[in-house]
Structure 1
């Protein structure tokens, strides 16, 4: 029988789960803090924002079944007639960076922002594009087919979406008049611990993501937009200052567990403890991975700079860290040098073994920083 609906925020967990959560939380928070410090002092941090956001966009859309790889995206980035998988990944990255810009300019996460980002996410993509940016007006469900009787989860009715989204917005930002969120729906047993709007930002990130997915306010794109909210909330709370920490890669690796634990927070007896622990452990592993990727990318950049002989070569080399499969035209436009200088520098980098280019292509040659792609993919 399908699980139906969900409870409003805040949430509560068993005290035993709360102790485990707080233990994992300290490890994950410390690692994310170290990552943030590294980015502040890295020579490739600005370049990697673009490429890491692309990697996140690939991993998040793969959770939805899109069969496209990071290398596909880098190779086909400039395709004038992209296939729908490429469009979906590009839309995800555009929505992510659009949201980042809004947060950076002081806008909080709100229902309005979520609807605007949904429009970007669904632009020209498959699915219910006619309802992009609009909450659903009909009942939807999650299941293996299009029969509601086979559903694993039936979200709240459409007429309750505004109320639940307002509740989630207050949990994210606090009530505009300073009121506390109601806890009347909780059990308040002595063996329970409440995570409310004043809880640690990383725990709140886990809760916000699961709650948004469970409200399921749109006809399509809920999963992808919910994972964008993870990144945006981390930036809103200043845990990271740029979109550099992503968790979709780890969620994709355990996709069925991810879906199962999300389902567990729904209905009248939600198990939030298991979900939050899973999310924090995924963050912990991902922080290790991104720290390692940044270290290796930084070392690669420095090694290349030692081999570069001209200022132009150095500029072009560092540019490939934001666009690892590039061309003379891209370099010319990006760093404002002549096409002849760009071509000469790219060929110099090929001679040094830093980039690769096909010897037989004569026009629109691509120059590839394969070592960076190997590190990041």
Structure 2
């Protein structure tokens, strides 16, 4: 008989799944490319800094940003290595499948490269989880890890649970198994993000780790409560609340950024593109009585693209002679609110 993780679906869980689903529906109705490139990068940096901070990395947002940008940072070498590893790993997120054990090991190899000797391998010894020198969880024996992970991934692949709930169950069960000698916390959070992003791509840039970092005691209490109850229910509810909070914050950040970035030039661009079919650059320039192409691209096109207010018909070929530009739903909504 295939493995079935123990959990219960409560009214609280159903209600918050409904709330998250409503937010997803709202995002989809407004624009499927909700986050601008700037916000995506910013959220990824927040994710990395927070996930590592949970594991006692002391680098600030500014320092993490500098490391990712290739700048020199005064900090402990292993903390700088953690940031580099995490950024590379999150950037490779789309190359892995959440239900594949080989991909799980590959991701751990990337995340823990140069930090532990057994990166990319399951632990070969017993391990306990300690908080303030007190043992709070003794993981299953090392010789059972591979089988337990295979069972868990097989369940994840075949479950008919709602993806939001399934991702939380996986996260809890993964932490319970504690398959690696180190890096289990950051791997559990990474893999939940991967699984959710393969259901809804926007989750790849949702910095839920920032909420977990701010509610770290509640995070560990939820893990402990699920351990004592021998089911994942308490942890499911905590993680769903964290996901919901992160979504609310992202919605607020997007609104703030769009408001800040709308210059008079961008406003005039949106005004002309509103209710029109996609148009070529030369036609837009002529309509706005502009003649200097570099200035037009720098002051009008680039900031509007970055904010997600306009989009290209040939996004994979920016220099295509067939390239045209059109106003997005986010741009259209903003134009009518100005």
The equivalent of 1:312 in structure 2 is 298
- Residues 218 and 300 of structure 1: is their aligned pair in 2 closer, same or farther, counting only changes over 3 Å? same
Correspondence list, 1:70-89, <5 A? 70-76=61-67, 77-80=69-72, 83=75, 84-89=78-83
Distance 2:238 2:98 in 1: 26
For 1:82-101, list aligned pairs within 5 A.
83=75, 84-99=78-93, 101=94
Partner of 2:32: 40
Q: Would the aligned equivalents of 2:37 and 2:307 in 1 still touch at CA under 8 Å?
A: no
2:180 is matched with which residue? 218
Instruction: Report Cα offsets for 1:204-240 as digits up to 9, x if no partner.
Output: 111111111111100111111111112101122x223
Residue of structure 1 in register with 2:113 after alignment: 123
Residues 32 and 245 in structure 1, CA contact (< 8 A), matched pair in contact too: no
Q: How far apart are the structure 2 equivalents of 1:38 and 1:69?
A: 33
* Distance (whole Å) between structure 2 residues aligned to residue 37 and residue 96 of structure 1: 27
Are the equivalent residues in 2 in contact too, given 1:39–1:45 (CA < 8 A)?
A: no
TM-score, normalised with respect to structure 2: 0.74
For the residues of structure 2 that align with 1:286 and 1:227, how far apart are their CA atoms? 14
Which residue of structure 2 lines up, in the alignment, with residue 282 of structure 1? Answer: 242
Matches within 5 A, 1:1-377: 9-13=4-8, 18-38=10-30, 40-42=32-34, 45-76=36-67, 77-80=69-72, 83=75, 84-99=78-93, 101-103=94-96, 107-125=97-115, 129-144=116-131, 150-174=134-158, 197-236=159-198, 238-241=199-202, 243-266=204-227, 269-303=229-263, 306=266, 310-314=296-300, 317=303
Residue 30 (structure 1) shift: 1.7
Q: Distance in 1 between matches of 2:184 and 2:301?
A: 40
Q: In 1, are the aligned partners of 2:50 and 2:209 still within 8 Å (CA)?
A: yes
Change in Cα spacing, 1:45 to 1:317, as seen in structure 2 (3 Å) is closer
Alignment partner, residue 179 of structure 1: none
Distance 1:93 1:162, change over 3 A: same
Unaligned runs of 5+ residues in structure 1 are 1-7, 175-196, 323-334, 337-377
Structure 2 CA distance, aligned partners of 1:320 and 1:9?
Answer: 45
Q: In proportion to residue count, which structure has more helix?
A: 2
Counterpart of 2:263 in 1: which secondary structure? helix
Q: Gapped runs of 5+ residues in structure 2?
A: 270-294, 309-317, 320-338
Q: Any idea what SS the aligned residue of 2:7 has?
A: strand
Q: Does the 8 A contact of 1:59 with 1:249 survive in 2?
A: yes
Separation (CA, whole Å) in 1 of partners of 2:117 and 2:28: 39
Against the structure 1 CA distance between its residues 319 and 63, is the aligned structure 2 distance closer, same or farther, given a 3 Å change threshold? farther
Residues 221-261 of structure 1: CA deviation (Å, up to 9, x unaligned): 1111111112101122x223561223111111110110121
CA distance in 2, matches of 1:111, 1:121: 15
Count of matched residue positions in the alignment of Structure 1 and Structure 2: 279
Tell me which residue corresponds to 1:370: none
RMSD between aligned alpha carbons?
2.8
Native 8 Å contact 1:205 1:230 kept in 2: yes
8 Å contact kept, 1:155–1:215? yes
**Aligned position for 1:325:** none
Q: Check conservation: 2:40, 2:205, Cα contact below 8 A.
A: yes
Task: Judge conservation of contact 1:202–1:234 (CA < 8 Å) in 2.
Answer: yes
1:87/1:315 Cα in 2 relative to 1: closer, same or farther (>3 Å)? farther
**What CA distance in whole angstroms lies between the structure 1 residues aligned with 2:15 and 2:128?**
35
Q: How far has the Cα of 1:291 moved from its partner?
A: 0.9
CA 1:169/1:271 → structure 2, altered by over 3 Å: closer, same or farther?
A: closer
User: Could you tell me the TM-score, scaled by structure 1's length?
Assistant: 0.66
